[in-house]
Structure 1
Amino acid sequence: MYASKYHDIRTVVNLSGRYDLKSGIAERFGEDIMQKLGENGYIDVKDEKSGGSYRVTKESVMDRLNTDMHAACLQIDKDCRVLTVHGTGDEIIPVQDAYEFAKIIPNHKLRIVEGADHGYSNYQAELASIVLEFIKASLEQDKAASS
């Protein structure tokens, strides 16, 4: 999103990003999320994995629902290099979202990690290698362009 508003960065790494921002809200927070947000303006959510908690506000959900990711992606500068990495086993965000980014971002590289879940469990080394290779190539391109 930053790269769609500000054109001062040359490289973006998108790890398992959500393209369809309208999906996933009810699945994650319940079908009655909007009713609950209407009552208090927020809900507190307990993170089962970490044991911590976080607050979801009505404003943040409305911002998400009102964001047009397609339009935002079209605003990314053609010289900004974007890498999207996504796992085929992602249980939170469908891998199809990665293909949507690839369709519309002009200077885009897509890497699909076969079997990887949303947190890349058991695929950390492969993820690190993919990202490192992309960052190194981007830095080399920047260096060559400034010479």
Structure 2
Amino acid sequence: MPVRVQAEPFDFGAEAAAFAAGATSAGAVVTFLGVVRDDSGSLSRMEIEHYPGMTERALASIAAEATDRWHLLDALVIHRHGSLLPGEAIMMVATAARHRAEAFAAADFLMDYLKSRAPFWKKEFGADGAAWVAAKDSDEDALSRW
């Protein structure tokens, strides 16, 4: 269950291929890539902050919960921090399970957690200045189904 929090970009294709290659007894591998979205059309960059150590422990804990709950064979979580540009990869989740329903559900759970509870703080910089990204009710609603 690798969990990585890093500033450096990652190669989604290579990460997905390596993950799938290691999942030899899985019947399903699900991958998801999150990218920095420019909703306003004027986003110049996003800064993501976190507390080293605490963040990795929190992500490892939720990955372990997903693994136990959906009987995953493996899981991978990568999340970036630092300065990111629109369109850049911000995070990746991969899950491997014997059946697709478990792999999809676990990936969905992990993504909902990362969006609403993971200890990251995001600040957007654009033409109108800078602003912290506020939590959305829709993200909380998504997490409540678990």
Bigger relative contact order (CA 8 A; separation at least 6): 2
Choose 1 or 2 for highest CA Rg.
Answer: 1
- Structure having the larger proportion of residues in helix: 1
- Structure having the larger proportion of residues in strand: 2
